[in-house]
Amino acid sequence: AQRVTQPEKLLSVFKGAPVELKCNYSYSGSPELFWYVQYSRQRLQLLLRHISRESIKGFTADLNKGETSFHLKKPFAQEEDSAMYYCALSDSGYSTLTFGKGTMLLVSP
Amino acid sequence: NAGVTQTPKFRVLKTGQSMTLLCAQDMNHEYMYWYRQDPGMGLRLIHYSVGEGTTAKGEVPDGYNVSRLKKQNFLLGLESAAPSQTSVYFCASRLSGTNEKLFFGSGTQLSVL
């Protein structure tokens, strides 16, 4: 069975500090991985997906198949980055997404 | 374009009551999903549909039923609500599988007393 693990419930950093939100997955096939974000009083929305190799709002994530990880990184955190972040894994048929339990990021001034 | 619309936004039920949550999307998406969000548990898939007239069970389907009679609508039913079903329910849709992103509704806060 596929599984997504986000080991930190809460990550608190100061503005300007680097951020790394951890995501590890368990999956036997070739994974499709995503990061979704939920800002306060807003809908869940896609932040980035590994296949696009994109950088959104300064965030990047690299798929490491050897370590089965897809950590989300940003070199300099901003207060507006405070939100709940979910890592998600797509199944082999691309029908469903399995989400991790989420990490709340708090960026203090 | 309204995107994904969920109704109602809030509801309080007594144990044993029934209700239906409606999800509507105007993007002609094939795939639709119902998730529940609980503190410390993240998002868990209840049921999903890969096209009109189809439904399938997700991770936590017990106590829920769904129907997808029209492509744009995905209904989630609670036949006999229990306090354990107190949660925030999110509907989502996407055009297809294959790496397409999910579009989420704004959520329904349900309390079962």
Backbone angles phi, psi at B22, to 5 degrees: -110, 135
Does a cis peptide bond (omega within 30 degrees of 0) precede residue A109? no
Chain B within 8 Å of A94 (Cβ-Cβ)?
A: yes
pLDDT tens by residue, B55-103:
999 999 999 999 999 999 999 999 999 999 999 999 999 987 666 788 9
B40–A101 CB contact, under 8 Å: yes
**Cα–Cα distances in angstroms (integers) from residue B23 to residues B6, B17, B47, B99, in the given order:** 5, 20, 13, 22
Q: B1 pLDDT band (50/70/90 cuts)?
A: low
Q: What is the CA radius of gyration of chain A?
A: 13
Over residues A51-62, the mean pLDDT reads: 85
pLDDT tens by residue, A69-96:
999 999 999 999 999 999 999 876 768 8
pLDDT higher than 90, residue B47: yes
A44–B44 CB contact, under 8 Å: no
Per-residue pLDDT at A82: 97
Per-residue pLDDT at B16: 96
pLDDT higher than 80, residue A1: no
A94–B104 CB contact, under 8 Å: no
Per-residue pLDDT at A74: 96
Q: B49 pLDDT band (50/70/90 cuts)?
A: very high
CB-nearest to A49 from B43, B56, B99 is B99
